């Protein structure tokens, strides 16, 4: 609950920053918002609508009250409301990010657990080297390499666009790999930590088979840092989505934002940035709630009762 | 100034032995050494690029466009007939410069802010933390993109954007270290001696926060290089004809079916450089952490 209250000033700050994007651009904000090819009359109209001749606090008040009515302005490029554009694109970004997180969790945790239980095996070495490369490889390059291999040379999967499930595989894999690498490293070290604990030795000495010890006793406690990292990684994932969406022509928010920056379509840029930041803040909030749920002290208490 | 040196007279000896311990530990770490070798090679390429290739990274020759790698053009040529190997060599200058300068910007602003926040606490600290919360609300590379959207494209603006985007990381990190260090006895002693706040922070607190800052900076350079390459890839970073790796990759993508060397090699260059910094960072973290130093 306290965290919920703390995120309110953050959201206000984010809105101020997004509001100022246009005001910071050298030159006339009205021209920036009306678009490069706007007529003098149109620019004058925008100037009046935004109250640009009034003080900044008045402008911000107008911006915010429009925002709460769902009015994010109008694209200077397509002339459509920004809110509509965002509503069309946002589900695609969510689908891509969630799919990438699923890939990252499945690949990362599997590799991490196997590495920890077979420490110093060939699998352990190769997966940890793979993880090092996965973190260092630029996500857009990985995407292009996957396109080259799976679309151009093997012809197994489409190289871009959206539609069927097959279109989702390469982008999700690309976006998920770096996070998978990180999750693998964290899972491995966290599992190794837990496996050294006294209660694991106790469980073993009770004669429990190794698999039960690994999955029932160790994994549950090893997961806490993993969940934290997953939450923190969602931001990196959203940032990476901007790049991956560009590589695979995926019609999401990130690509919309980049296209709008290049086209100087500032109302859309503001909307997209605001949406991505708010999403990120809300995800972090959710992670905190989940984390409180998994809190080591709480689970420690229940274990003693068992 | 002079009495600063006087009070610090016993310091260098102790620090040298500490430094030596860290170096000994680092030298034993094969992965970190490999990282260091990779970085040395890139640095060498960046400095001596003109001696390592006869080609001009921006010199076009349309009659030899899109050639596959050969003895003459080690990594082939691009769509304008420019030598890809030469462009990658010169590109290392851009990437290293962006990595180092943007991290320097982030450090120069972030470290003092974090130190002041942690040392004084109170209203300033509260205010700073809320600002940092807001900056951190922008995921990963996004903050850099937003800043570039305001400032405009180009290598210089990328450095500023990535630099600003890394401020929060330093502020958080330094504030945390200062909070723990300032409770130490020697800080209380320095205060009791009547030393000024500035001198206590600079002479007594900061030297003990350097470990985490060095480790973080090594990783942060890697991140900065990745972000800058991402911006270049999106068309928001370095502009043509600059031989920037991300921008090269983005252009080369259009020829993926006929000449994949245009995308493969710049990407590998980014990967290797980032890997070098990450390996060194891992090694430094272990070497600077007394706990893991003893356990190994």
Chain-centroid distance of CA B266 in Å reads: 19
Residue A253 pLDDT > 90, yes or no? yes
- Predicted pLDDT at A161: 77
Any idea which of A229-243, B98-112, B259-273 has the lowest mean pLDDT?
A229-243
Q: How long, in residues, is chain B?
A: 296
Structure tokens at A11: 């959201």
- Predicted pLDDT at A89: 92
- Predicted pLDDT at B207: 86
pLDDT band for position A33 (cuts 50, 70, 90): confident
Residue A297 pLDDT > 60, yes or no? no
Percent of chain A with pLDDT over 90: 21
pLDDT band for position B292 (cuts 50, 70, 90): low
| pLDDT tens for each residue of A185-196 | 888 988 888 878
Percent of chain B with pLDDT over 90: 40
Are B278 and A132 within 8 A, CB to CB?
A: yes
Task: Using CA coordinates, name the residue in chain B closest to A242.
Answer: B142
Alpha-carbon gap: A235 to the closest alpha carbon of chain B (Å):
4
Instruction: Compute the distance between CA of residue B179 and CA of residue B286 in angstroms, rounded to an integer.
Output: 22
- Predicted pLDDT at B229: 94
Window 144-163 of A, Cβ < 8 Å to B: 144-145, 147-148, 152
Task: Using CA coordinates, name the residue in chain A closest to B231.
Answer: A243
Alpha-carbon gap: B141 to the closest alpha carbon of chain A (Å):
5
Residue (of B253, B233, B214) closest to B95 by Cα position: B233
Q: Which chain A residues are Cβ-neighbours of B246 within 8 angstroms?
A: 138, 140
CATH number where B134 lies: 1.10.3720.10
Instruction: Compute the distance between CA of residue A212 and CA of residue A194 in angstroms, rounded to an integer.
Output: 14
Which among A9, A140, A276 has the least Cβ separation from residue B230?
A140
Instruction: Compute the distance between CA of residue A176 and CA of residue A139 in angstroms, rounded to an integer.
Output: 9
Task: Using CA coordinates, name the residue in chain A closest to B141.
Answer: A239
To probe the interface with B, which of A25, A136, A250, A258 has the most B CB atoms within 10 Å?
A136
Residue (of B227, B223, B228) closest to B277 by Cα position: B223
Q: What 3 state SS string does chain B have?
A: CHHHHHHCCCHHHHHHHHHHHHHHHHHHCHHHHHHHHHHHHHHHHHHHHHHHCCCCCCCCCHHHCCCCCCCCCCCCECCCCCEHHHHHHHHHHHHHHHHHHHHHHHHHHHHHHHHHHHHHCHHHHHHHHHHHHHHHCCCCCHHHHHHHHHHCCCHHHHHHHHHHHHHHHHHHHHHHHHHHHCCCHHHHHHHHCCCCHHHHHHHHHHHHHHHHHHHHHHHHHHHHHHHHHHHHHHCCCCCCCCCCHHHHHHHHHHHCCCCCHHHHHHHHHHHHHHHHHHHHHHHHHHHHCHHHHHHC
| pLDDT tens for each residue of B202-227 | 888 888 888 889 999 999 999 999 99
Residue A140 pLDDT > 90, yes or no? yes
Q: Which chain B residues are Cβ-neighbours of A148 within 8 angstroms?
A: 256, 260, 263-264
Instruction: Compute the distance between CA of residue B94 and CA of residue B92 in angstroms, rounded to an integer.
Output: 5
ipTM value for the complex: 0.84
Instruction: Compute the distance between CA of residue B211 and CA of residue B177 in angstroms, rounded to an integer.
Output: 10
φ, ψ at B83 (rounded to 5°): -70, 120
Residue B65 pLDDT > 80, yes or no? no
Which among B253, B257, B278 has the least Cβ separation from residue A136?
B278
Structure tokens at B45: 């390429």
| pLDDT tens for each residue of B145-197 | 989 988 888 999 999 999 999 999 999 999 999 988 888 888 888 888 888 88
List, in order, residues 6 or more apart from B241 with CB less than 8 Å away: B58
Q: Running DSSP on this structure, what letter comes out for residue A121?
A: S
To probe the interface with A, which of B140, B151, B232, B277 has the most A CB atoms within 10 Å?
B140
Asked if residue B65 is part of any domain, the answer here is: no
Residue B14 pLDDT > 90, yes or no? no
Residue A305 pLDDT > 60, yes or no? no
To probe the interface with A, which of B29, B39, B146 has the most A CB atoms within 10 Å?
B146
pLDDT band for position B261 (cuts 50, 70, 90): confident
- Predicted pLDDT at B13: 53
> For the domain A96-253+280-294, what is the CATH code?
1.10.3720.10
Are B140 and A236 within 8 A, CB to CB?
A: yes
Q: Which chain B residues are Cβ-neighbours of A253 within 8 angstroms?
A: none
pLDDT band for position A303 (cuts 50, 70, 90): very low
Average pLDDT for A130-149:
90
- The residue range of the domain holding B81 is 23-57+71-294
Asked if residue B5 is part of any domain, the answer here is: no
In b/e form, how buried is each residue of A75-98, taking b as 16+ CB within 10 angstroms?
bbbeeebbbebbeebbebbebbbe
SS3 of A162, please? coil
List, in order, residues 6 or more apart from A46 with CB less than 8 Å away: A30, A33, A34, A38, A52
- Predicted pLDDT at A296: 53
Any idea which of A38-52, A163-177, B33-47 has the lowest mean pLDDT?
A38-52
Are A136 and B275 within 8 A, CB to CB?
A: yes
- Region class of B61: left (phi > 0), else alpha (psi between -120 and 50), else beta: beta
pLDDT band for position A211 (cuts 50, 70, 90): confident
| pLDDT tens for each residue of B241-255 | 889 999 999 988 888
Window 19-38 of A, Cβ < 8 Å to B: 21, 24-25
- Predicted pLDDT at B51: 87
Window 240-269 of A, Cβ < 8 Å to B: 240, 242-243, 246-247, 257-258, 261-262, 269
Task: Using CA coordinates, name the residue in chain B closest to A246.
Answer: B234
Average pLDDT, chain A: 82
Chain B: residues touching A (Cβ < 8 Å): 130-131, 133-134, 137-142, 145-146, 148-150, 222, 226, 229-230, 233-236, 246, 249-250, 253, 256-257, 260, 263-264, 266-267, 270-272, 274-275, 278-279
Where in chain A are the domains?
Answer: 2-68, 96-253+280-294
- Predicted pLDDT at A304: 36
Structural domains counted in chain B: 1
Average pLDDT for B80-108:
92
| pLDDT tens for each residue of A58-92 | 888 878 888 888 788 878 777 788 888 899 999 99
Residue B81 pLDDT > 80, yes or no? no
Peptide bond into B107 cis (omega under 30): no
Structure tokens at B106: 């982030």
- Predicted pLDDT at A204: 78
Task: Please tell me if residue A291 touches chain B, with a CB cutoff of 8 Å.
Answer: no
- Predicted pLDDT at A300: 39
Task: Using CA coordinates, name the residue in chain B closest to A235.
Answer: B139
| pLDDT tens for each residue of B25-57 | 888 888 889 999 999 999 999 999 888 888 888
Window 63-122 of A, Cβ < 8 Å to B: none
Average pLDDT, chain B: 86
Asked if residue B276 is part of any domain, the answer here is: yes
């Amino acid at each position: 609950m306290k965290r919920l209250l703390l995120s309110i000033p953050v959201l206000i700050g984010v809105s101020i920053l997004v509001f100022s994007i246009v005001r910071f651009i050298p030159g006339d904000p009205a021209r920036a918002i009306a678009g490069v090819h706007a007529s003098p009359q149109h620019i004058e109209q925008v100037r009046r609508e935004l109250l640009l001749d009034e003080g900044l606090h008045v402008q911000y008040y107008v911006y915010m009250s429009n925002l709460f009515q769902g009015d994010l302005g109008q694209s200077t490029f397509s002339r459509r409301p920004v809110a509509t554009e965002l509503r069309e694109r946002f589900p695609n970004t969510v689908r891509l990010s969630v799919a990438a997180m699923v890939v990252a969790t499945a690949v990362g945790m599997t590799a991490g657990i196997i590495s920890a239980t077979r420490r110093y095996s060939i699998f352990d070495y190769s997966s940890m080297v793979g993880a090092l490369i996965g973190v260092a490889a630029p996500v857009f390059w990985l995407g292009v390499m996957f396109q080259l291999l799976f679309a151009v040379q093997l012809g197994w999967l489409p190289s871009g666009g959206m539609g069927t499930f097959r279109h989702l595989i390469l982008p999700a894999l690309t976006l998920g790999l770096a996070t998978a690498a990180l999750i693998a490293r964290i899972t491995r070290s966290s599992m190794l930590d837990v496996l050294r604990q006294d209660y694991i030795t106790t469980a073993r000495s009770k004669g429990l088979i190794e698999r039960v010890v690994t999955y029932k006793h160790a994994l549950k406690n090893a997961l806490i840092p993993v969940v934290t990292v997953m939450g923190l990684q969602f931001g990196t994932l959203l940032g990476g989505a901007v790049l991956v969406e560009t590589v695979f022509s995926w019609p999401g928010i990130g690509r919309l934002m980049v296209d709008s920056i290049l086209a100087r379509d500032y109302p859309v840029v503001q909307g997209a940035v605001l949406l991505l930041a708010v999403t990120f803040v809300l995800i972090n909030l959710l992670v905190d709630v989940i984390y409180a749920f998994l809190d080591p002290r709480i689970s420690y208490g229940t274990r003693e009762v068992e | 100034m002079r009495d600063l040196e006087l009070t610090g007279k016993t310091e260098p000896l102790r620090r040298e032995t500490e430094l030596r311990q860290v170096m000994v530990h680092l030298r034993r770490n094969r992965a970190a050494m490999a990282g260091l070798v990779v970085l040395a090679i890139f640095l060498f390429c960046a400095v001596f690029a003109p001696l390592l290739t006869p080609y001009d990274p921006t010199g076009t020759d349309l009659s030899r466009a899109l050639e596959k790698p050969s003895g003459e053009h080690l990594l082939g040529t691009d769509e304008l007939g420019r030598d890809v190997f030469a462009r990658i060599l010169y590109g290392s200058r851009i990437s290293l410069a962006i990595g180092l300068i943007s991290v320097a910007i982030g450090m120069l602003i972030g470290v003092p802010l974090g130190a002041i926040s942690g040392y004084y606490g109170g209203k300033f600290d509260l205010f700073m933390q809320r600002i940092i919360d807001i900056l951190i609300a922008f995921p990963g590379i996004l903050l850099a993109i937003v800043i570039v959207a305001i400032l405009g494209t180009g290598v210089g603006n990328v450095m500023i954007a990535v630099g600003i985007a890394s401020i929060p990381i330093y502020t958080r990190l330094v504030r945390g270290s200062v909070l723990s260090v300032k409770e130490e006895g020697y800080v209380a002693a320095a205060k009791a001696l009547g030393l000024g706040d500035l001198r206590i922070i600079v002479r007594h607190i900061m030297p003990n926060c350097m470990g985490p800052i060095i480790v973080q900076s090594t990783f942060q350079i890697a991140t900065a290089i990745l972000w800058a390459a991402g911006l270049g890839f999106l068309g928001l970073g370095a502009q043509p004809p600059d031989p920037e790796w991300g921008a090269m990759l983005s252009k080369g993508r259009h020829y993926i079916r006929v000449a994949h060397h245009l995308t493969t090699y710049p990407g590998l260059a980014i990967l290797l450089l980032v890997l070098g910094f990450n390996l060194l960072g891992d090694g430094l973290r272990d070497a600077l952490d007394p706990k893991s130093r003893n356990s190994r």
